[in-house]
Structure 1
């Protein structure tokens, strides 16, 4: 039987009805800048669940107040934040989607922190604050904060956890020679911090719950790591317990990606395919995959196991339903919408 964009997928205890992923996209809409979600978030995510998305990954949710990109970002550093996230999860479940959450720390990219922290005291660019390098003991404390946030996410009822190790945020800052100039063990082994975070969060997750890891497969910088080096990192992370890699790129260098990279549809598919070939974990592909035929071909051609559709899902919450119509796929529709999709009715 042919495996395509609308084939189900099982990963450990998680079964998805299709391979369409809503990637984490910051909404900068936390309540009163306190890290709490609101009813707006419930509507935002639930509408994509009604629209047929198989896996919804809640936006970057941070392990401490100074770990946020901005003070308008979500957090999971205290128990009171669990209830709001649980409402999001429940609403998405009711509409037939599975839910993951991205747990993260912005590190030197925490723009509203008075003094951000990082692997080393290197600012992102000339307009950014100079971060304070974490002490060795503080790095261990940070590992524990990741685990505590994940434990809260599990209580909120999520189906999977994603760690953010891409786009120049804290884990990425430790794994990159551009930002990690340390002389302790976390400098000697660039994968150590990420590995310790993975091992710590696995201890507080149910055995059958998958752990996703978003990684920049290349930094698009002459002095940064390339695909081969990132696969070495990923191998260590897989051995530590990662179940799925969400393969993106760039983010650590201010001279790198967005200004010069990414003008072509599917520009990162080759990176996802390389990960799929080199590793034994499922892979999520990203990067201008909003064309239904292209997204479907990524699965048909075995370049990825899942496809993340970002901005297109912001424009159209029902992208998954409309893509099925475009591809002449017969799918299970919300009964309330059947009359709008007569050709795709199951």
Structure 2
């Protein structure tokens, strides 16, 4: 059943879900890369196996699992041994597997499922061992000296100085705005976040975590603008149509459009009316893929001409390009 869209103003913060681990001498591991997948389905039409799968203990009871995108999928399944433990939407390439045992070795694989329900093969198996549990009420100190720079038009490189803890720092969580996008081991103090857009401003923070899941305050915010430009055409909704109808003495504007073909499923749109934001439209878990529609109140006067356009919030938390603008006059067609 289709969830009814819910107006939501102001819109929520970004929820980017892509990054890659930077190990040792800044070697990029494409573990959550956008556009770094296997390139398509296998023979027989099934999705391919996810690549770049990594697992890193986040605390004594959690492991952070990441992988690359697979084209044309709807969900990912994360398996611990032979048990399905998480299902993740296509817009995400990471998950924290929780409720694990301390001091225990675990093996994980990931499978992709397409819109037709076809499952691809398991990825290669990756392993992680949770540290011992400790009685600890003290959070680590905040990471210091956080710095960043653009690494091309679609990635940024982050570094920070190590936090301290009365026991040990087990992991660092990387946030883009207020959304966690990555986790690295406690011995690492660098990461590369990928899958970004050219000419776009982003902000990042880092928090330290210990084995007892105590989390530090955020380190300093790093604000970086990726170089280049993006005209938005690749991320704009297409085939926008606008009409009006009358109901109970009032006029409504009826819109339909084709969702942009971007990475992941678009679940939020912003409607602009006469050059200004009018409302946000948020869908549930079954957001439209082929045709979206929305109707909203436009007043009680007939013969009023409005200009309408639509844009989508993308998986990296930024807003995509605007659709072509359409004009609609209240009273025309209804």
TM-score, normalized by the shorter chain, greater than 0.5: no
State the TM-score, normalizing by the size of structure 1. Answer: 0.25
Structure exhibiting the larger radius of gyration computed from Cα positions:
2
Which is strand-richer, 1 or 2? Answer: 2
Which is helix-richer, 1 or 2? Answer: 1
